[in-house]
């Protein structure tokens, strides 16, 4: 029997000014699934990912991730939970420009002992894990690893971000338009690598984008649509 990774019930999110932004009557995601959530710009995709990350709290509704009920958790518990179990990839400028590639990839394992332990378990050490993942994601040149992230092309940067999100095998990977700054070739190549790595580590992937051209990579697709209350709903 497949286990549920994420469930959302009857969720309503409002910003401070009170206008409803996002409603999600029901959303379920099983372990290892990969879902593509499409919505136009401003439809609340990033907001949704922040809610799933426990950074933003909804007006009402239940959010359960890996069996943890967000409503029952304190800020600090949410912080720890997110660090241990969720890897993030964002649109652009994802890396700290003053750290080397390797240091950037290793960052989550510095803040989460759970992810560090898993990386060591799998690769022997965090650094070895980082190198292995960078290689799998197509960054073969070892000289690059010690270089500052700022020296890379956007396409290379996104691969580093992906390696960072995957290292330490978090159960869930959340990607917020990671390909929007890439050209078409780089985009498809990146997506293929990301999907295969998620497959390999068994991670659940939640991928949001406004770009329909990416849809065909995913079996499961959802769409944010305008709702009657002025916001969007899933």
Which residues contact another protein (rule: CB under 8 A)? 46-47, 49-50, 53, 55-56, 76, 79-80, 82-84, 88, 90-99, 103, 106-108, 110-112, 115, 164, 176
Q: How many of the other CB atoms lie within 10 Å of CB of 7?
A: 16
Smallest separation, CB 12 to another protein (Å): 18
In terms of CB distance, is 45 or 85 closer to ligand ADP? 45
Q: Which residue has the tokens 């240091």?
A: 103
Q: Sign of dihedral through CA atoms 180, 181, 183, 189?
A: negative
Q: How far apart are CA 99 and CA 157, in angstroms?
A: 12
41 touches which of another protein, ligand ADP, Mg ion, none (CB within 5 to 8 A by kind)? ligand ADP
Smallest separation, CB 228 to another protein (Å): 26
In terms of CB distance, is 171 or 177 closer to ligand ADP? 177
Q: Which of residues 37-76 bind ligand ADP (CB under 6 A)?
A: 39, 41-47
Q: Which of residues 44-103 bind Mg ion (CB under 5 A)?
A: 46
Q: How far apart are CA 190 and CA 162, in angstroms?
A: 9
Task: Using alpha carbons, select from 115, 62, 59, 69 the residue that is nearest to residue 88.
Answer: 115
Q: What residues does 11 pair with on adjacent strands? A: 24
7 binds Mg ion (CB under 5 A): no
Smallest separation, CB 175 to Mg ion (Å): 11
Tokens of 2: 């497949």
Smallest separation, CB 176 to Mg ion (Å): 6
Q: How far apart are CA 187 and CA 197, in angstroms?
A: 15
List residues binding Mg ion (CB under 5 A). Answer: 46
């Amino acid at each position: 029997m497949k286990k549920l990774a994420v469930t959302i019930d009857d969720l309503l999110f409002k910003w401070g000014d009170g206008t409803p932004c996002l409603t999600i009557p029901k959303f379920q995601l099983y372990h290892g699934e990969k879902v593509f959530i499409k919505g136009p710009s401003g439809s609340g995709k990033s907001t949704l990912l922040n809610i799933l990350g426990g950074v933003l709290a909804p007006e009402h509704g239940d959010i359960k991730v890996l069996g943890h009920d967000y409503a029952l958790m304190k800020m600090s518990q949410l912080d720890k939970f997110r660090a241990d179990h969720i890897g993030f990839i964002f649109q652009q400028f994802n890396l700290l420009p003053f750290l080397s590639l390797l240091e950037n990839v290793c960052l989550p394992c510095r803040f989460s002992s759970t992810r560090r332990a898993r990386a060591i378990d799998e690769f022997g050490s965090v650094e070895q894990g980082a190198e292995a993942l960078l290689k799998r994601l197509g960054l073969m040149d070892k000289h690059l690893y010690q270089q500052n992230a700022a020296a890379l092309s956007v396409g290379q940067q996104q691969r580093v971000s992906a390696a960072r999100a995957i290292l330490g095998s978090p159960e869930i990977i959340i990607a917020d338009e990671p390909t929007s700054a890439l050209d078409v070739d780089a985009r498809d190549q990146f997506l293929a690598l990301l999907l295969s790595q998620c497959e390999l580590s068994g991670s659940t992937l939640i991928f949001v984008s406004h770009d329909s051209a990416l849809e065909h990579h995913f079996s499961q697709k959802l769409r944010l649509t305008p709702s009657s209350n002025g916001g969007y709903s899933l």
